[in-house]
Amino acid sequence: MEIVSLETKRKIIPLDRPFVTSVRKVTSIENVEVSVMLEDGTVGKGAAAPALAVTGESPSSIEAVINGPASEALAGAQSEALQENVRRLKQNCYGNSSAKAAVEMAVIDAFVQQRRCSLLQWLGGTPSVFENDMTISMEEPAQMKNTAEQYINEGFRYLKMKVGDDLKKDYQRIRSIAEVLPQGVMLRIDANQGWTSKEAIVFIQQLEKEKIPLQFIEQPVAADDWAGLKKVTESTRTPIMADESCKTYKDARRLIEWHACDMINIKLMKCGGLLEAWKIADIAEAAGIPCMMGSMMESTISASPAAELALAHPNIKMVDLDAPKWLQENTVTAVSFEGHQIKAMNPAQSAPIKYEGGELR
């Protein structure tokens, strides 16, 4: 079936509470939604979530890429030729990973609709459940502790803490939350590149001495400080996860060769799409490196396919897909983000999804 056109729509979605990390404070997001139209009227949907500090893309640059080179790459292409279409997309658009991820997920959405199956089914997964985490914004220690207690009461077993602006305060933040952690609840610490390797080693070793229940430490050092990341990985017992250091599968391959990390955080917006994400999970699996599926501040339009891939791939052992839970509005998709779990619905049981005039209702 011929791909007739691509359309974009910018959408501002307010958050229901501010999201604060060591590099930014966000109160609303602006996503770029993409529709891929086939000649029989099928509409595939995707979305890009700009994160200028990570991928160098803005809503305007994403729109320009989709309406320019990405549309040129796919106009007149056959939707069945999925690999060829993704190859063309990559060839026409160097970098611009979020724009490519959005277009690819829309192309794949149209592709699976034509096969009358869900993305999860096409990937060979079955309806199942993943334990989701909840992120605690970087605030004063007492406030973070209160927030942690609230999420613990809601049943979350994994709490992801944002730290990285001030080592002394980071220590107080982690200590204060550790005080209220019940048995079986673990911390995921994301420094968002906030520490030097020397700082990180001393800091993490101290947390280990105090037996703080850490599942992993994410991106302790600058994205391009691979030598520092390796040093931290070698010097601590706690698993070290690469996030901003690992964008594409080529990054993943080199990080693995360097023995620079113990885990990898895969995000569609960093790697450029579902097919590349699958490859990262594959090569990491060969090296015994478990992966987590994460996201930027994204709506269900892009978090849902990320969750389906996570549920289907055997080496994606963790998810960090709480982003839709921060948004004031979300689209109904084949994945439920309710409570502390992510559930992929059996298509027969999920809410009916109808396409009317190109809009998902």
Q: How far is the CB of 87 from Mg ion (least distance, A)?
A: 29
Is 162 annotated in the active site?
yes
Q: How far is the CB of 115 from Mg ion (least distance, A)?
A: 34
- Binding to Mg ion (CB under 5 A) within 203-242 occurs at 218
Q: How far is the CB of 161 from Mg ion (least distance, A)?
A: 11
Interface with Mg ion: number of residues (CB under 5 A)? 3
Residue 134's DSSP bridge partners are 159
| Residue 360 CB, nearest approach to Mg ion (Å) | 28
Of 45, 100, 145, 162, catalytic: 162
Does 243 interact with Mg ion (rule: CB under 5 A)? yes
If DSSP codes are grouped into helix, strand and coil, which group holds residue 242? Answer: strand
Q: Which is nearer to Mg ion, 160 or 313 (CB)?
A: 160
- 190 labeled binding residue: yes
Helices 167-178 + 197-209 axis angle, to 10: 20
| Stretch in the footprint of Mg ion (CB under 5 A) among 15-23, 131-139, 189-197, 255-263 | 189-197
Q: Is 22 helix (H, G, I), strand (E, B) or coil?
A: coil
Phi, psi of 198 (to 5 degrees): -65, -45
Closest CA to 37 of 88, 118, 121, 109: 109
Task: Using the minimum distance from each CB to Mg ion, give the nearer residue, 125 or 272.
Answer: 272
Q: Is 144 annotated as a binding residue?
A: no
Instruction: Give me the residue whose beta carbon is nearest to Mg ion.
Output: 243
Contact status, residue 124 vs residue 95, Cβ threshold 8 Å: no
Which C-beta is closer to Mg ion: that of 123 or that of 268?
268
Out of 230, 267, 270, 343, the active site residue is: 267
Of 149-157, 186-194, 226-234, 321-329, which part binds Mg ion (CB under 5 A)? 186-194
Cβ pair 118, 145 in contact under 8 A: no
What is the residue type of 278? W
Q: Which is nearer to Mg ion, 118 or 295 (CB)?
A: 295
Minimum separation from the CB atom of position 169 to Mg ion (A)? 19
Which of 166, 177, 171, 167 shows the shortest CA–CA distance to 143? 177
Q: Is 357 left (phi over 0), alpha (psi -120 to 50) or beta?
A: left
Phi and psi, residue 256, nearest 5°: -65, -45
The CA-atom distances, in angstroms, between 178 and each of 47, 142, 284 are 36, 12, 31
Q: Which of 63, 109, 190, 276 binds Mg ion (CB under 5 A)?
A: 190
For the annotated catalytic residues, the residue numbers are 162, 267
Residues that bind Mg ion (CB under 5 A): 190, 218, 243
